[in-house]
Amino acid sequence: MKIKKAAVKPVLVGIVGASASGKTTMARKISKKLGKSKTVIISQDQYYKDWSKVPLKRRQTINFDHPDSFDFSLMHSHIKELKRGKPVKAPLYSYKLHKRLRKKTKISPKRWVIVEGLLVFYKGFLRDLFDMKVYIDVDTATSLARRIRRDVKERGESVSSVSSRFFKDVLPMQKEYIEKQRQYAGIVVNSLSTDDEGLLDRLTQILDARSAARHKTE
């Protein structure tokens, strides 16, 4: 007789911050502390809308920091399924082509599900799913310097194109939408603290306790 495997009861962690604030770095550090085999990291960037039917030249002018560029409905349904202990097939997105790829990636629920992105707390129906909400503060100079370094190296952009987009789209969206999500976070940290071992230890201790409590009471 087969013994039915107990359903996973994930603890959901949301990490929000402006562009290049250190969201991915913090997510990876927390995952390492908790144990990579017990965590899964999801980027909101995977849930950009599919712009494949829009000419490439037009795609390159889209404001990817505006809420309208994200598929919140699909993201919500996937996060909700993971919270129920069900796997999902998430989209893969090409930054160079500005469109979704045909291939999808299977995401299975684990003890901790970490979701990082610009606007993870923007919609109430999505925000309410999280057990822990973290917001990362970052100053403009640090954000711009990190973005230039990343986009030139990883996305094939020039310094001038990154700088132009930053002041035209990124910074205005940060002020209008991203920074307002700070009010929903239970924990606010500085971007320079994403490598702080003491802070990471405290966060992982809280998450470990919440996971233990959930598996004990549910």
pLDDT at 72: 98
When pLDDT is cut at 50, 70 and 90, the band that residue 35 belongs to is very high
pLDDT at 9: 86
Domains (range + CATH), the chain: 11-211 (3.40.50.300)
* pLDDT digit string, tens, across residues 5-29: 557 889 999 999 999 999 999 999 9
Triad 83, 84, 86: Cα angle to 5°: 100
* Three-state DSSP state, 61: coil
Read off the pTM: 0.90
* Three-state DSSP state, 54: coil
Amino acid code (one letter) for 6: A
* pLDDT digit string, tens, across residues 125-175: 999 999 999 999 999 999 999 989 988 887 778 899 889 989 999 999 999
